[in-house]
Amino acid sequence: MSSESSKKRKPKVIRSDGAPAEGKRNRSDTEQAIEIEERRIQSCVHFMTLKKLNRLAHIRLKKGRDQTHEAKQKVDAYHLQLQNLLYEVMHLQKEITKCLEFKSKHEEIDLVSLEEFYKEAPPDISKAEVTMGDPHQQTLARLDWELEQRKRLAEKYRECLSNKEKILKEIEVKKEYLSSLQPRLNSIMQASLPVQEYLFMPFDQAHKQYETARHLPPPLYVLFVQATAYGQACDKTLSVAIEGSVDEAKALFKPPEDSQDDESDSDAEEEQTTKRRRPTLGVQLDDKRKEMLKRHPLSVMLDLKCKDDSVLHLTFYYLMNLNIMTVKAKVTTAMELITPISAGDLLSPDSVLSCLYPGDHGKKTPNPANQYQFDKVGILTLSDYVLELGHPYLWVQKLGGLHFPKEQPQQTVIADHSLSASHMETTMKLLKTRVQSRLALHKQFASLEHGIVPVTSDCQYLFPAKVVSRLVKWVTIAHEDYMELHFTKDIVDAGLAGDTNLYYMALIERGTAKLQAAVVLNPGYSSIPPIFQLCLNWKGEKTNSNDDNIRAMEGEVNVCYKELCGPWPSHQLLTNQLQRLCVLLDVYLETESHDDSVEGPKEFPQEKMCLRLFRGPSRMKPFKYNHPQGFFSHR
């Protein structure tokens, strides 16, 4: 390094001449050499010092790293120890939570109450002096008592099982005996059939009926059971039978089989392969209507016999989708009746049971839910189908135990035996009364059409011996024709001329006087009396609007009808009212004042004895007949 610096340096040349210059040069070189040596020695010392410092720095660095490593190891050890402690803490917390949330099996056991435990458990188990103050010991004692009781019950259960096995063996033996006995009983029953027929005790037939009744729908089954019970207890002449196909009824409750599914699948494939026109919307609606109005295959038939050997045949049906019952009626008599023209609707199946109870005309469905079903298939009203399906009278639903509340509609309507039983007797009596009254009217109409008013011997005292006025015409009229009559306006305005009533026109004559009587016959005759409206054609037209005596004549037959009822059940009421009209016409005409300007005898001479011909400013006539004196007086 010094050599390089010496090379770089250019020594200053001093040119001198002679020896002194030479000596000076040698001395300077020596000094430089010494300085260079000193400098070299100094640099070596510095170099050694530098190496020493470098070594010391490396040693200190290594020592620092070692110390840092040791400190890091300690920190890692402390951190690991901390993690272990935290893990242990977390594990302990989980265990504590598990212990706190632990639910023992004994909590699911319904132990006896403490009072019962200390009362029934023996002292060696209850240990009242220990368990009273320690809930844990108390629970253990109660579990011990529970175990003791369960051991006893298990022993009792094993005993019951052994007894059950013994009883089952006895039952099997008895079953074998009964199975061997059945063929013998069948042979005995078969041999006793002639005896049953001779003694009128058809046990075999009744057994078959009850077997068939198992397949009836609930409403028809309730009707069958209650009608049979009523017949056995109250009416021996009531006949109950089941008609229809039992196989079809069984098929309704059979689940579809695989073979049937395969057949239906093959049929569907054939229909897809064959080119057919799709049914129109009208055809689809017709099919839906038929399905909606489908009846159950089985029906219940009641034969109700009356005193005159006439029979009312009632056939009850059940519409499965509508959940209602319907009935068809037919009346047969012991002798063939000659049907008068005016009696055409009396025994008609469509009207013979109409309004058996007030307002029950059987043309509307009693189930409110049916209207929503009808809307889906386009049915306006059930009245269009009653001739085919039967009438859904309210009393029919009650006989089947069905009740449809309007205030709180129910999701499902269940057939109720108590409801059927509570209405059975009353309904049967009303049915008999209806048939008897209609048959009585049928016979009376046959006489009325020939101009004869039949009056029985029991009712002869209600009328005088001689009645001159006579009935010349008795015909039925339509409801619309009755509404158009001018003298029936009062009845129409009062709402007494319903479309369920029957309407007739009677014509009573005496001489030139003609009395027209428009009659409203309620289906509930004779408990509900007929209503008469009169129009007299004599010396002008006289009605209740222009003649007070005509109004009084209407009052005699409409208001005072109870005097004309006769013996119960008052089947002669209508004919008695007509006979009373004839008597009233005689009184009206005979008490009329004679015009002195007209020559000749009086047209209607007075033959009835009257205490007083007129009374009051309206000159009311004496229409009340007094028996047995035989005179007429005012009311």
CB 415 within 8 A of CB 402: yes
CB 231 within 8 A of CB 239: yes
Q: Which residues of the chain have pLDDT under 70?
A: 1-24, 196-207, 254-282, 407-412, 594-601
Expressed in angstroms, the distance from the first to the final Cα of the chain is: 175
What pLDDT is stored for residue 262 in this prediction? Answer: 47
* Helix (H/G/I), strand (E/B), else coil: 154: helix
Which amino acid is present at 92?
L
Q: Output the CA angle 216-222-228, nearest 5 degrees.
A: 100
Q: Output the CA angle 311-313-317, nearest 5 degrees.
A: 165
What pLDDT is stored for residue 281 in this prediction? Answer: 67
User: Domain extents for the chain?
Assistant: 48-96, 111-200, 203-251+283-435, 450-593+600-631
Give every CB contact of residue 126 below 8 A, 6+ residues apart in sequence. 117, 118, 141, 145
b/e sequence 195-207, b meaning 16+ C-beta within 10 Å? eeeeeeeeeeeee
Distance CA 497, CA 531 (A): 10
CB 308 within 8 A of CB 436: yes
**pLDDT (tens digit, 9 = 90+) per residue, 119-168?**
888 888 888 888 888 888 888 888 888 888 989 999 999 999 999 999 99
What pLDDT is stored for residue 265 in this prediction? Answer: 53
- Kindly report the backbone phi and psi dihedral angles of residue 287, in degrees, each rounded to the nearest multiple of 5, phi listed first: -65, -40
Task: Output the pTM of the full model.
Answer: 0.64
Distance CA 423, CA 431 (A): 12
What pLDDT is stored for residue 220 in this prediction? Answer: 94
Which amino acid is present at 495?
G
Which helix (H) or strand (E) covers residue 71, if one does? helix 19-101
**pLDDT (tens digit, 9 = 90+) per residue, 521-564?**
999 888 899 999 999 999 899 999 999 999 999 999 999 999 88
The pair of three-digit structure tokens given for residue 446, joined into one six-digit string: 């046959």
Of the candidates 480, 449, 467, the residue with the CA atom closest to the CA atom of residue 579 = 467
